[in-house]
Structure 1
Amino acid sequence: MDIIIKRALVGGAVSTLVMGIGTFILGEISGYRAMDMLSTSLSGINMLCNTVILASSTILALMLTLLSISRSADSRLTKKHYRNVLHIAKYDTILIVVATITFLMLNLPIIESNEVPENWYVAIYYTSLGMASVLGGGLIAIVTMLYGTIASIILIVGLKITDHPLVDHEEAEDAKEEQEKQEEENKKEEKRESTK
């Protein structure tokens, strides 16, 4: 597994764990108290879902710019770089789907319904907090992965680092040889023209 993905997964897991610890600290609650706390936390969780959907959609759209910069680089990039970009796009899409489903589920008028037993509110409350922690951790993981990829692109394209692990040295050497051959042919052609 790539170091960028490992770092991202650790960051996402830590943030999910922090949210889980916060939920554990609140302690066990009764059904009525869970209903009261659920009504208080729903607006914040809905706002988190909206933020995650917006941020993830923006990241997915800007991945096209990242790809165009990668393609226009002087140095050829390895397939590993494009796999990293593919991982980011895949996880980002999954996060959008999960955030949308969570948003739709939490907008059902559960609190207004008289048919829902009181003890269900405890499970609904903890599930909503669990989903919020997963969404927050997922967004942190994707942003961390994106940072690692962008940092590599800056080093390769902007700072012209040629010994970076994501630079394809074989293709770079082939391109250099091709360029040298082209220059030699141009010189020979110039000599021929000058002798005429």
Structure 2
Amino acid sequence: MLKIFKLSNYNKRALIGGIIAAIFTGFGAFALGSISGYEAKELIKSSLSGFIMLCNTIVLASATILALLLTLISVSSGTKTNLNKSHYKHVILIAKIDTIVFVAAMIIFQFFNLPVTESENVPTEWYAYIYYSTLVISSILSGGLISVVLMLFNAVTSIIKVVGLGIEDHPILLKKEDEQENKKNED
């Protein structure tokens, strides 16, 4: 999947940060050891509201980030300096990953909103699998959102350096040679 996206060093670091966060939070959950179906059912009852709240928060955060990306594009296009295509591709990548996290959190939110612990048709041994799946899913969703936020931080930092601080040799700036080639292609 990572080959689909051409990743810069900033993006690689952001994704690695999200993966590390997912592993760290997931490891903490599995350090508890194995539990029986009845114990898992009780743990699900006590932790499901927090899991649903996490999914809801990730949905809201992802939607907000998508809206903020429009502001970032507006600031990027409104500058006097010309930005290269890699900056806009970076923003597209953020939007893609954020949308994936948004859709996944929404689907999982709906799925786990079912009253599983109230059903009498669910075998007791399934509760352990359901409990561990909520832990794994929450770790993955949290890691995904952390990656998106880190990528957004990198994009915003780049814009601040170019627009606010006036750094003239930043990698997101269109080079003079590229500008001349674009003018030739337009003619």
TM score, norm. by length of structure 1: 0.86
Would you identify which runs of 4 or more consecutive aligned residues in structure 1 move more than 6 Å? none
Q: Residues of 1 paired with 2:176 and 2:86: CA distance? A: 14
Q: Residues of 2 paired with 1:38 and 1:94: CA distance? A: 26
Task: Report how far residue 171 of structure 1 moved.
Answer: 6.5
Which of these residues, 166, 170, 174, is aligned with residue 172 of structure 2?
166
Equivalent residue, structure 1, for 2:150: 144
Secondary structure of the equivalent of 1:69? helix
Equivalent residue, structure 2, for 1:98: 104
Which of these residues, 47, 61, 70, is aligned with residue 55 of structure 1?
61
Matches within 5 A, 1:82-161: 82-161=88-167
Alpha-carbon contact 1:75-1:162 (below 8 Å) kept: no
Secondary structure of the equivalent of 2:173? coil
Question: CA 1:74 to 1:94, structure 2 compared with 1: closer, same or farther past 3 Å?
Answer: same
Equivalent residue, structure 2, for 1:71: 77
Shifted more, 10-19 versus 162-171: the winner is: 162-171
Question: CA 1:173 to 1:92, structure 2 compared with 1: closer, same or farther past 3 Å?
Answer: closer
Spell out, residue by residue over 1:130-155, the C-alpha distance to the aligned partner (whole angstroms, 9 max, x if none): 11001111110000000000000000
Structure with the higher fraction of residues in helix conformation: 1
Equivalent residue, structure 2, for 1:190: none
Spell out, residue by residue over 1:107-142, the C-alpha distance to the aligned partner (whole angstroms, 9 max, x if none): 111100000000000111111111100111111000
Aligned pairs, how many? 175
Alpha-carbon contact 1:31-1:120 (below 8 Å) kept: yes
Task: Report how far residue 170 of structure 1 moved.
Answer: 2.4
The residue type paired with residue 31 of structure 2 is I
The residue type paired with residue 64 of structure 2 is T
Q: Residues of 2 paired with 1:161 and 1:167: CA distance? A: 9
Equivalent residue, structure 2, for 1:6: 12
Structure 2 residues not aligned, in runs of 5+: 1-6, 181-187
Q: Residues of 1 paired with 2:32 and 2:51: CA distance? A: 17
Spell out, residue by residue over 1:53-72, the C-alpha distance to the aligned partner (whole angstroms, 9 max, x if none): 11110010111110011111
Equivalent residue, structure 1, for 2:36: 30
Shifted more, 79-88 versus 19-28: the winner is: 19-28
TM score, norm. by length of structure 2: 0.90
Alpha-carbon contact 1:4-1:149 (below 8 Å) kept: no
The residue type paired with residue 58 of structure 1 is T
Q: Among the aligned pairs, what percent are the same residue?
A: 50
> Please, what is the CA RMSD of the aligned residues?
1.4
Secondary structure of the equivalent of 2:116? coil
The residue type paired with residue 154 of structure 1 is I
Spell out, residue by residue over 1:75-119, the C-alpha distance to the aligned partner (whole angstroms, 9 max, x if none): 111110000000000111111100001111111111000000000
